Structure 1
Amino acid sequence: MSSILTNNGAMTALQTLKSINKNTADIQNQISTGKAISSAKDNAAVWAISKVMEADVTGFKAISDSLTLGESTVAVAKNASETVTDLLTQIKGKIVAAQEENVDRGKVQQDISALRDQIKTVVNSAQFNGLNMVKGTDDVNILSSLDRSADGTVTTSDITVARQDLTTGAGVWGGGNDISGRITIGGGATQAEAAGNSLALTLTHASLGGSNDITIGGTTISFAQGANATESTSNAMAAINALGLEGITASLTTDGSDGGLTIASTKSFEDVAVTSGAGIAGDGTIGMRAESVNLDTTTGVEAGDGYRISVGGTAFQYVAGSGETMEDVARGLKTAIDAGGLTGITTRVSQDTSTGQWSVKIDNSDPAAASLSVAGITGGQASGGLFGLDNINVTKDPEAALDNIETLIQNSIDAAASFGSVQNRIEIQNDFVGKLMDSMKSGIGAMVDADMEEASARLQALQVQQQLGVQSLSMANQAPQSLLSLFR
């Protein structure tokens, strides 16, 4: 049936043309925007995923900026630490030169003071954007990652950079818990005395042979047997004293007994073993003259832990910083005591290889005894990593200066190494973040970008379909005109 009111062919052609026009508009939008999915109506799920990933890319760009800033800050600190190490090495050279008696130690000290002032200048100026990593003890966190879990929760991660304090401050004694039990005076001794220690031997005349030996610190002394025990003992005493062993003297006992011989040692930091043959009783070891202040082997060191040694009523202290050990505490206490300028007092740091215990050995060569006491407390402000540098003085004690400069050099080397390691980590993370952003951008593009080759081919096909649709609609609109011929 034909009708002049309803043109079904035209309606069909029109709907087809509308569909073609819509598809053409979509393809043209893809070509103009470069995206197959440019809004939520194109594909809500894919569009939502892409937007989340685009937000993450923006976040990672900020993280990359943070890492770049952190890397620059750490690089400044590393360069400062390396410079300080070089300057301390120069100071060591001056101190070594001052060990020679025939030098002007006053002029050497002037050079050391100039280098010390330069170290302080380097430390104070080693800042980037106001942040100085070689002053203070608080750690610094550098934003390093954005972590998204499966449930959509987003968290951030940091790279923690430990400050390496290269200042010369003595720190502040705390007011926290008493930790005096972690520092003890060895053997219950309370004094460091100039007299030294001794060992008593008893010579039994009847058991002696014609020639007799006593070995002291690896050196063997032979003496002739006398007519009686008293004469044999006198011979032994004379032989020992005649040998001239440094710090070793022999004397007859004063208790009136025959055959009594006392061997005394004033060696500061060295035990002396004494052995003898038949007819001589009392072998053993003469302990070093220095008293030992021992540090705990079971408890770790926390930042702010303060340890104090008082020598002859004068207190010397060291307050630990973050990440330090009992070795650092021992060396810090030694540095503090050496800087005190006490007459006759010298120190050494040692470790018991069997127990791992660190100790500060304190020797007194002055005839007057010096009382010792110790204390410990938490909650202090840490001493600087170059604590003691201000008090290095080759005009007073060049030997102590040489010992202490080694500790300071090691501290600065450790600081530079720490900064170097974390700088390398930051560089690796920054490189990874850059590659991660590239991968995420590639993934987003794969989801939403238009395939331009396909779009071009589709556009040409749709243009042909559009032309045919227009022609089909034109033909459908002309069909009712054929009904006029029925009325002629």
Structure 2
Amino acid sequence: MSSILTNTSAMVALQTLKGINASLTKAQDEIATGKSVASAKDNAAVWAISKVMEADVNGFKAISESLALGESTVAVARQASETVSDLLTDIKGKIVAAQEGNVDREKIQADIVALRDQINSVVNAAQFNGLNLVSGTEDVDILSSLDRKNDGTVSASNITVNRQDLTTSAGVLGTGTDLSANATLSAAAATNTGNTATITLAADADVSADAFEVTIGGATVSFSAGDITGDQDAAASAITNAINALGLVGVEASVASNVITLTSTRAFEDVSVGATKNGGATGVTLSATSIGERAETLTFSDTAAVNDGDGYQVTVGGTAYTYVAGKGETFEDVARGLKAAVDGGTIDGVSTQVAQNSSGQWELKIDNDSATSLSLARAGAADGTASGGLFGLGGIDVTTNAGAEAALGNIETLINNAIDASAAFGSAEGRIETQSDFISKLTDALQTGIGSLIDADMEAASARLQALQVQQQLGTQALSIANQAPQNILSLFR
């Protein structure tokens, strides 16, 4: 049935053309914007996901900048610590040269002072954007990542870079918890007297048929049968004279009747003792097989921990010497720091050494070779200001024999501190570089993922556009034909 009031065909053709035009508009928008999902109305779920990912990409770009800044800062610190290590090695060469007695130690000391000033200059200048990692003890956090969980919460991750203090600051003893119980002194004074051992010869009216052999500090005196005539007292006197004739440094022998007293004033060195009569122990009695070293000890606990700011102090002859531990240090560091402090005090006749005892405890040994006894005391307290990693550098003085000898041991500690700092900065710089590379790749992957979600397939969009244009032309013609259908009804009334 045909009707001049309702043109169904035209209505269908019009709706079809509208649909084609809508699809054509969408295809044109995709080509113009390059996106298949340009707004939330195109695909709300995909659009929301893409926006979250775009926000993460922007965040990671900021993180890349943070990592670049952090890497540069650490690189400056590493270069500085490596330079300091080289300069300390140069100082060691000067100290070794000063061990000879026939050199101009004043000129060598002047060179050491110049190198020390250069180290201070390097440490003070080693900053990037105002941040100096070779001064102070506080750690520095570098933003390294954004971590998004399944529930949508986001948290920041950091790479912590430990400062490596290479200053020469002395530190300040705190007023916190008393830590003196963690250090034990062997005596209240360091005396200048030596330690002794005795050799007692048994009563023997005639020793002419006897052979004697005495060893002390690796040296030996021996008498064959017939070398000594008389009784045990004569034998003791002959042996005493022979021991003194050896000229052993720091070792003397004295005699009273049949008892030989061996005295050692050697610092930090035990002296072995042995004696035989006719090849055996019968007829001689030893009070000890060795003479202990002459030194008092400050022994540190093998169970207590050392925290940042824990300070320890040793007083020698009324003068206090302090070392305050930094982060991550141990009692070995404390002992070596106190050694550097005491050595820097240049007390006449006083020398020091750091060692571990048989129980694994670290000890600071203090020897007194002066004319008088020196009082000793110790103290400890928490919450202090840490000493610098190169503490003791300013106290190096090679103008004297004692100073040159002490400096040789102390410079090794300083070199090791600088090397440890360089290694720590190198590891941190490598980690930051790895993280920076990962963030760059992760950002590219996220951008690729966003593109796969919302970017238009330009080849498909182009082909679809051409097809829709043809459909539009056909739809227009179909609508035109449908609109002409009522005209055919007029022919029925002619």
TM-score by shorter chain over 0.5: yes
Counterparts of residues 37-186 of structure 1 (less than 5 Å)? 37-185=37-185
Corresponding residue to 1:347 among 344, 349, 352? 352
Deviations 1:133-180 (A, max 9, x none): 111111111001110111111001111111111111101110110111
Q: Distance in 2 between matches of 1:105 and 1:289?
A: 29
Corresponding residue to 1:391 among 388, 395, 406? 395
| 1:324 shift after superposition | 1.2
Residue pair 1:193, 1:370 contacting (<8 A) in 2 also: yes
Give the secondary structure class of the aligned counterpart of 2:308. Answer: coil
Q: Distance in 2 between matches of 1:191 and 1:275?
A: 30
Q: Does 1:227 align with 2:230?
A: yes
Amino acid at match of 1:234: S
Give the secondary structure class of the aligned counterpart of 1:155. Answer: strand
| 1:366 shift after superposition | 0.9
| Range 3-12 or range 208-217, more displaced | 208-217
Q: Distance in 1 between matches of 2:322 and 2:123?
A: 23
Q: Which residue pairs with 2:431 in the alignment?
A: 425
Runs of 4+ in 1 over 6 A off after TM superposition: none
Q: Does 1:246 align with 2:235?
A: no
| 1:206 shift after superposition | 4.6
Counterparts of residues 330-479 of structure 1 (less than 5 Å)? 330-352=335-357, 354-396=358-400, 397-479=403-485
| 1:125 shift after superposition | 1.1
Give the secondary structure class of the aligned counterpart of 2:17. Answer: helix
Amino acid at match of 1:327: E
Counterparts of residues 185-334 of structure 1 (less than 5 Å)? 185=185, 188-206=186-204, 210-223=210-223, 226-253=229-256, 258-277=257-276, 278=281, 279-282=283-286, 283-334=288-339
The normalised TM-score by structure 2 is 0.94
Give the secondary structure class of the aligned counterpart of 2:485. Answer: helix
| 1:459 shift after superposition | 0.9
Amino acid at match of 2:450: I
Q: Distance in 2 between matches of 1:103 and 1:218?
A: 32
Report the count of equivalent residues: 481
Deviations 1:108-143 (A, max 9, x none): 222211121111111111111111111111111100
Q: Distance in 2 between matches of 1:32 and 1:470?
A: 24
Amino acid at match of 1:263: L
Residue pair 1:192, 1:370 contacting (<8 A) in 2 also: yes
Amino acid at match of 1:194: N
Q: Distance in 2 between matches of 1:113 and 1:216?
A: 43
Identity %: 61
Structure 2 gaps of 5+ residues are none
Tell me the C-alpha RMSD between the 2 structures.
1.5
| 1:280 shift after superposition | 1.4
| 1:486 shift after superposition | 1.8
Amino acid at match of 2:363: S
Amino acid at match of 1:469: G
Residue pair 1:205, 1:232 contacting (<8 A) in 2 also: no
Amino acid at match of 1:61: K
Q: Distance in 2 between matches of 1:367 and 1:271?
A: 22
Amino acid at match of 1:95: I
Q: Does 1:482 align with 2:482?
A: no
| Range 191-200 or range 141-150, more displaced | 191-200
Residue pair 1:221, 1:240 contacting (<8 A) in 2 also: yes
| 1:227 shift after superposition | 2.9
Amino acid at match of 1:316: Y
Q: Distance in 1 between matches of 2:284 and 2:312?
A: 45
Give the secondary structure class of the aligned counterpart of 2:199. Answer: strand
Residue pair 1:194, 1:364 contacting (<8 A) in 2 also: yes
Give the secondary structure class of the aligned counterpart of 1:205. Answer: coil
Amino acid at match of 2:232: A
| 1:85 shift after superposition | 1.4
Q: Distance in 2 between matches of 1:92 and 1:428?
A: 36
Q: Distance in 2 between matches of 1:311 and 1:61?
A: 59
Amino acid at match of 1:219: A
Counterparts of residues 21-36 of structure 1 (less than 5 Å)? 21-36=21-36
Deviations 1:32-67 (A, max 9, x none): 111111111111111111111110000000000000
Q: Distance in 1 between matches of 2:394 and 2:131?
A: 25
| Range 312-321 or range 244-253, more displaced | 244-253
Q: Distance in 2 between matches of 1:28 and 1:411?
A: 68
| 1:226 shift after superposition | 4.7
Amino acid at match of 2:318: G
Q: Distance in 1 between matches of 2:98 and 2:230?
A: 54
Amino acid at match of 1:375: A
Amino acid at match of 1:41: K
Residue pair 1:195, 1:367 contacting (<8 A) in 2 also: no
Amino acid at match of 2:243: I
Q: Distance in 1 between matches of 2:30 and 2:360?
A: 73
